[in-house]
Amino acid sequence: MLGRGEAVTVEAARNILNFSYIPPEPEKEEISLYEALGRVLAEDIISETPLPEFPRSSMDGYAVFASDTFGASEQLPAYLKISGEIVMGEAASGPLSRGQAIAIPTGGMLPDGADAVVMLEHTQILNVGELEVVRPVAPGENVIQPGDDISAGEAAFTRGHRLRPQDLGALAGIGITRAPVFKRPKVAIINTGNEIVPAEKAPRPGQVRDVNSYILAGLVRRAGGVPVLKGIFRDEFGPIREAMGSAISECELVAITGGSSVGTRDLTEKVINDIEPGIIVHGVSVKPGKPVIIGIVSGKPVFGLPGHPVAVAVCFELFLRPLLKKISGEIDPLEALGIPGARVVEARMSRNYSSVPGREDHLGVMLKLEEGELWAYPVLGKSGLIFTLAKSHGTAVIPADRPGIAKGEKVIVRLFD
């Protein structure tokens, strides 16, 4: 533990957490599709109907028997009788006969017998009711067949999938308007510090407004959780201990800001060990965020986060966000393919930046496009300055095995959403 031994690497801290905590099965609920954006499916969804349910034209043109157009060209056109017109939202009044063509719009239902659509551009009306076709079509050309999108009995989405806007449209297309989802995990937020006052209150000299509650609540919501604000507490054991007990009973995860640095006010460690001696990590080789505490209390993960806003955001992205995915039941298909869940880009550093070997540095940067390449400009400032975070597009990651990054060298940037 930090102050009593060496800090562990980010990877080691994650491994210890993953070994020590296996999330229980989340509870389920069924909700309206209108409310399901960002929610995680609790069951596979199987389509009971094909989509589309009938053959549809993919072009404006004429529904025909493909064989009636074979050999057609501008020099030797095929001539067909126009026998009617398909109206959107309605079926044809009757089947198509040989030697006939029926006008059809994009998305219109093909009449019985028709097996292709001639594009409007490849036709010309000669006289009333007579059509000239100057290019042939093959059977099935310009036609969307039943089940081309999804077939009956096919899995639309599987358990663990987080629903996106396009997914809601796809489900509506097969007649599903309610979705079985996992309940969103609740995350308790306990803010500590004698100097912290509510954001709406004017601080006295030596006091600062609460920033971390808002950062954490936003990060939790964005990660699919429900923030539960427990309030601001002075650096006193009793009230924090009581808040922790309440948080453990109500929520799936607890985040405490402040009280995680070595010193007389290291209350997070004392509170965790008073309820249950469950600290598994105290100190990670990362900047900012080195004093982070990770514990398991009554079977639930508890994080003691440094009080500085940038460190809070970095620690959340490194540890809490991946854990919330697991707790929520999400199975990320991109991560299964080895693609990181966070959005990342590659950019060139605009200046030299020195780091300490053995420590993973996360440096806030602004991105600029210059001569077709992305450049990362460090947003310099101490970790306690909130606007260094607000002005940054993301964090450039300097690996622990590097002494720094040279100007012009490429670096991975984890983008903020």
Least confidently predicted of 11-25, 121-135, 226-240, 372-386: 372-386
pLDDT at 362: 93
DSSP string, 108-137: PBPPTT--EEEEGGGEEE-STTEEEE-S--
Mean pLDDT on 25-51? 97
pLDDT one-digit tens code per residue, 316-348: 999 999 999 999 999 887 676 666 566 889 999
- Looking at the chain, the whole-number percentage of residues with pLDDT higher than 90 is 79
Tokens representing 313?
Answer: 């955001």
Mean pLDDT on 291-304? 93
Tokens representing 345?
Answer: 């880009």
Which residue in 78, 287, 31, 360 sits closest to 178, CA to CA? 31
Does the structure show a pLDDT above 50 at 110? Answer: yes
Give 3-state DSSP helix, strand, coil % of the chain, rounded to 5. Answer: 20, 35, 45
pLDDT at 339: 60
Q: Give, as one character, the DSSP assignment of residue 341.
A: S
Phi and psi for 259 in degrees, rounded to 5? 75, 15
Domain ranges of the chain: 10-26+183-332, 28-51+148-182, 56-144, 344-415
Does the structure show a pLDDT above 60 at 263? Answer: no
Instruction: Return the CATH superfamily for domain 28-51+148-182.
Output: Molybdopterin biosynthesis moea protein, domain 2 (3.90.105.10)
Mean pLDDT on 366-393? 86
pLDDT one-digit tens code per residue, 205-217: 989 999 999 999 9
Does the structure show a pLDDT above 50 at 413? Answer: yes
Write out the CATH class of domain 344-415. Answer: mainly beta
Least confidently predicted of 193-202, 230-239, 271-280, 334-343: 334-343
Per DSSP bridges, beta strands 178-182 and 28-32 are antiparallel
CB–CB of 106/59 below 8 Å?
yes
Does the structure show a pLDDT above 50 at 264? Answer: no
pLDDT at 369: 95
Does the structure show a pLDDT above 90 at 300? Answer: yes
Tokens representing 410?
Answer: 């490429």
- CATH fold of 10-26+183-332 reads Molybdenum Cofactor Biosythetic Enzyme; Chain A (3.40.980)
pLDDT at 253: 97
CB–CB of 307/193 below 8 Å?
yes
Cα–Cα distance between 41 and 29 in angstroms, integer?
10
- Round the average pLDDT of the chain to a whole number and report it: 91
> What distance lies between CA 398 and its chain's CA centroid?
24
Mean pLDDT on 195-204? 92
Given pLDDT bands bounded at 50, 70 and 90, which one contains residue 385? low
Mean pLDDT on 290-318? 92
Contacts of residue 256, defined as CB under 8 A and 6 or more positions apart, other chains included, come to 190, 191, 192, 240, 244, 268, 271, 302, 303, 304, 305
pLDDT one-digit tens code per residue, 219-249: 999 999 999 999 999 888 899 999 999 999 9
DSSP string, 42-89: SS-EE-SS-BSSS-EESSSEEEE-GGGGTT--SSS-EEEEEEEEPPTT
Given pLDDT bands bounded at 50, 70 and 90, which one contains residue 4? very low
Does the structure show a pLDDT above 50 at 76? Answer: yes
pLDDT at 341: 61
Cα–Cα distance between 169 and 295 in angstroms, integer?
41
Mean pLDDT on 262-272? 68
Instruction: Return the CATH superfamily for domain 56-144.
Output: Molybdopterin biosynthesis moea protein, domain 3. (2.170.190.11)
DSSP E strand boundaries for 208-299: 208-209, 226-233, 253-257, 279-282, 286-287, 293-297
Q: Give, as one character, the DSSP assignment of residue 25.
A: P
pLDDT at 383: 53
pLDDT one-digit tens code per residue, 130-185: 999 999 999 999 999 999 999 999 999 999 999 999 999 999 999 999 999 999 99
pLDDT at 357: 87
Q: Which residue has the tokens 């980010």?
A: 10
Task: Compute, in degrees rounded to 10, the torsion defined by CA atoms 27, 33, 38, 40.
Answer: 30
CB–CB of 276/262 below 8 Å?
no
pLDDT at 3: 39
pLDDT at 404: 92
Q: Which residue has the tokens 């030299």?
A: 352
